[in-house]
Amino acid sequence: MFSDYFSLSFKNLKHRGIRSWLTLLGIFIGILAVVSLISLGNGLKLGVMSQFGVGSTEVITVQAGGLNSYGPPGSGAVNPLKESNVEQIEKLSSVENAIARYTPSGKLEFNDKVNFGFAMSVPDGEDRKFVYEQLDVEAETGRLLKDGDTNKVVLGYNFYANAAGYDKAIKPGNTIILQDKKFQVVGITKKKGSFILDGVVYVNEAPLKDLMNISEEVYMIVVQVKDKDLMERAKEDIEKLLRKERGVKKGEEDFEVSTPDAALSTVNSILGGVQAFIIIIASMSIFVGAIGIVNTMTTSVLERKSQIGTMKAIGAKNKDIFYHFFIEAGLLGLIGGILGVIFGLLIGYFGTVGINNFIGSSVKPEIDIVLIVLVLIGSFLIGCVAGITPAMQAAKQNPVEALRG
């Protein structure tokens, strides 16, 4: 019997005018927003993370100063970290490895133009591999730095894309001048989508320290923890150690130990804000869409009054009429939902492709079949709920009056 109602309602829908379809816009936009938001989820997260330079999620970073220092991380700290701190941290039981990182700022000359930017140190040996992995850098052209490269640098993608203010693309083989010393460019890294990593100059640790006259101070310590579960303990261990070393009390730290959880929670709170905003917009448009269905169904009941009368005359019971209109409203919602899902997935797909192109990643759009089915059932039910009142109106029509039209 229900399949009969469905086919009857569907036949009526097929003959509906453009007016009815326009009322679906609300449901369509609402579902579109939800589906595209979800299918874009992975790409969005990665995009936001890369903008904040959160590359790896498995290391703890230690910096002196606190949040208020401007410029590259670690620079300009009153009381910088020391090389000895690196060794001390490495000795902690929860820590696998600690690497000193240097990110000094300086001037770069090329094509008779001078700009200021900052460099990033690359350590030797096993640590080099770890840093490359952690930053997820690969060569777009040329090669990455290796042990023993002294007068050589690798540049971020922006130099190559002529987006760094030198009026000319810098390519492997070119010579640039860093702080009045000549360096040969051996490679360009792949696009990361982050203005920090795409605008950086990679120099091996020893030549960089020489160049910038760095002796004892360390800009940043990257800590690899023995086990992911030890993250919090390692953080506490490092804080305890540095408080003692630097002679500060708990709560007055002039350094910061940040775990990926902290960075991730920043990213998540930004994403959460975006999601909340989109969900509010989506629910509002779904609500408006539901009102639209109420409206179009009520009009439809009035327009088809004599049809209702006829159907009652030839034996339709109140419940037959009710289900007929109820399911028709549900189908209206469902069609809005189907269109929303299709276009939402398209946005998710092309959006993710766009993000991948922008930051050079290779994430896939998230397509959750269960969720899509739930969304479709949901949009059908929204239509049904919107159709309850009009369907009841239709069902309780007096056959004699309805026949009169």
Partner 1 sequence: MRKSLIKLENVFKHYYMGDIVVKAVDGINISIHEGEFVAIMGPSGSGKSTSMNLVGSLDVPTKGKIYLDGEDISQLEESELAQIRGKKIGFIFQSFNLIPNLTVKENIMLPMMFQGIEREDREVIAEDLLKKVELADRGNHYPNQISGGQMQRVAIARALANNPEVILADEPTGNLDTKTGEKVMDFLRQLNKEGKTIIMVTHEPELAEAYAEKVYWLKDGKVEKVTHKNGHFSVEKEEKQLFDKDNKRVVKKSKKKIKKKGD
Interface positions with partner 1 (CB under 8 A): 1, 4, 8, 11-12, 14-15, 306-307, 309-320, 398-400, 403
**What CA–CA distances, in Å, run from 223 to 226, 248, 325?**
10, 21, 65
- Minimum CB separation of residue 349 from partner 1 in Å reads 36
Helix, strand, coil abundance in the chain, percent, nearest 5: 55, 15, 25
- Which CB, 12 or 356, lies closer to partner 1? 12
DSSP letter string over 304-330? Answer: THHHHHHHHHTT--HHHHHHHHHHHHH
Find out whether 185 and 174 touch, Cβ atoms under 8 Å: yes
- Minimum CB separation of residue 342 from partner 1 in Å reads 26
- Minimum CB separation of residue 5 from partner 1 in Å reads 9
- Minimum CB separation of residue 17 from partner 1 in Å reads 12
- Minimum CB separation of residue 15 from partner 1 in Å reads 4
Handedness of CA 280, 286, 290, 296 (dihedral sign): positive
- Which CB, 90 or 320, lies closer to partner 1? 320
- Which CB, 99 or 316, lies closer to partner 1? 316
- Which CB, 1 or 18, lies closer to partner 1? 1
- Which CB, 53 or 399, lies closer to partner 1? 399
The residues, any chain, with a CB within 8 Å of residue 200's CB and separated by 6 or more, are 117, 118, 119, 120, 155, 156
**What letter does residue 58 receive in the DSSP assignment?**
S
- Minimum CB separation of residue 368 from partner 1 in Å reads 36
- Minimum CB separation of residue 322 from partner 1 in Å reads 11
d(CA 281, CA 261): 29
- Which CB, 113 or 317, lies closer to partner 1? 317
- Which CB, 14 or 228, lies closer to partner 1? 14
Question: What long-range pairs does 338-343 form, CB within 8 A, spacing at least 24?
Answer: 338/376, 338/379, 339/24, 339/28, 339/31, 339/32, 340/27, 340/28, 340/29, 340/30, 340/31, 340/32, 340/34, 340/35, 340/375, 340/379, 341/31, 341/35, 341/372, 341/375, 341/376, 343/28, 343/32, 343/36
